[in-house]
Chain A
Amino acid sequence: KAGVTQTPRYLIKTRGQQVTLSCSPISGHRSVSWYQQTPGQGLQFLFEYFSETQRNKGNFPGRFSGRQFSNSRSEMNVSTLELGDSALYLCASKRDRGKIGETQYFGPGTRLLVL
């Protein structure tokens, strides 16, 4: 069974540009979450999508947005990139939202470098 896949794995952009990252969850998983990981702030929750609807949002500016498609694949977009957006962006999926004891499965991440 294939794991969570993220594309691209590495990305270099310049300030002011925008970027779109993609995440394909494990087959049958309907919940997709995004996290940002930086050396200074650690892992921080961005947002969660379930059944094409955003269910939870972290404390990030509106430049960070996302969406989920009917096949549960998800994209996140960052507009007007800033140097501080350089990070490892991790996607995680799980089958359902509320099932007791269910864990999230993380992808390998997309490493974004903003110059």
Chain B
Amino acid sequence: KQEVTQIPAALSVPEGENLVLNCSFTDSAIYNLQWFRQDPGKGLTSLLLIQSSQREQTSGRLNASLDKSSGRSTLYIAASQPGDSATYLCAVRPEETSGSRLTFGEGTQLTVNP
């Protein structure tokens, strides 16, 4: 059974700092991995999706990497801003036939202080 773990559970940083969020998964046979953002009381917003054949994806100040063999992904946020404060969730799609079924980690709650 696939299990996804995110470390740390919570993180508080001053504005402008570069930071890394970690995600690990137990079964390396994944189809893709996604990073989401969730603001309090709201739904999820997709940030980056990495296919199993890819090593990284970038969008603006965000960069996500994937090391399938070691079962790890990292989300790098450059020059953090107070607006980045949210919970960041990592999710894996186990296999191509799993359709829309995602397995989520517990999330990292990020606070960026002005």
Q: Which residues of A contact B (CB under 8 A)?
A: 4, 31, 33, 35, 42-45, 48, 50, 55-56, 58, 90, 92, 94, 97-98, 100-101, 103-109, 111
Contacts and interface: CB of A to CB of B under 8 A. Distances in A.
Contacts of B103: 45
A45 B49 CA distance: 18
Contacts of B32: 101
Contacts of A100: 51
15 contacts: A31-B99, A33-B99, A35-B104, A42-B105, A43-B89, A43-B102, A48-B99, A50-B99, A97-B99, A98-B96, A98-B99, A101-B49, A104-B102, A106-B46, A109-B43
Contacts, number: 62
Nearest to A42: B106
Interface string B41-57: 11111100101000000
Contact of B100 (A104, A107, A111): A104
B57 to A, nearest CB: 10
B63 interface: no
A42 B43 CA distance: 13
Contacts of B43: 4, 90, 106-109
List 9 A-B pairs, minimum CB-CB distance, nearest first.
A106-B43, A43-B104, A106-B44, A33-B100, A103-B46, A97-B99, A108-B43, A48-B100, A56-B101
A108 B45 CA distance: 10
A3 to B, nearest CB: 9
Contacts of A31: 99-100
B10 to A, nearest CB: 13
Interface residues of B, number: 24
A92 B100 contact: yes
A14 to B, nearest CB: 23
Contacts of A94: 100
Nearest to A103: B46
Interface in B61-110: 89, 91, 96, 98-107
A100 B32 CA distance: 9
A94 B72 CA distance: 26
Interface in B8-47: 32, 34, 36, 41-46
